[in-house]
Amino acid sequence: MSDRMLSLAEASNLLNVSEVTVKRWAREHLIKSSKEGSDLVFPEPDILKYKEINDRLKK
């Protein structure tokens, strides 16, 4: 399993939503996030899993 952390821009691009939406989801604890300095970062496996779930719900 990858322990790569995605930036806010990478997560929003992967999820195909705005950065504001990703921040809201993180604030609402819908996706895991952590701070690296002043930057918000996201574990890649969690973002990929969230994307998979969202893609299934859109069908």
CA atoms within 13 A on the CB side of 9: 0
User: Which residues have a Cβ under 8 Å from the Cβ of 26 and sit 6 or more positions away?
Assistant: 32, 33, 40, 42
Mean model confidence pLDDT for the chain: 93
- In this predicted structure, what is the pLDDT of residue 52? 94
Q: How many domains is the chain built from?
A: 1
Domain with residue 34: its CATH number is 1.10.1660.10
pTM across the whole model:
0.86
Q: Residue 32 belongs to what domain range? A: 5-58
- In this predicted structure, what is the pLDDT of residue 1? 57
- In this predicted structure, what is the pLDDT of residue 54? 86
Per-residue buried b or exposed e for 22-49, using 16+ beta carbons within 10 Å of the residue's own CB: bbebbeeeebebeeeeeebbbbbeebee
- In this predicted structure, what is the pLDDT of residue 58? 80
Is 53 a residue whose pLDDT tops 60? yes
What is the pLDDT averaged over residues 11-27? 96
Is 43 a residue whose pLDDT tops 90? yes
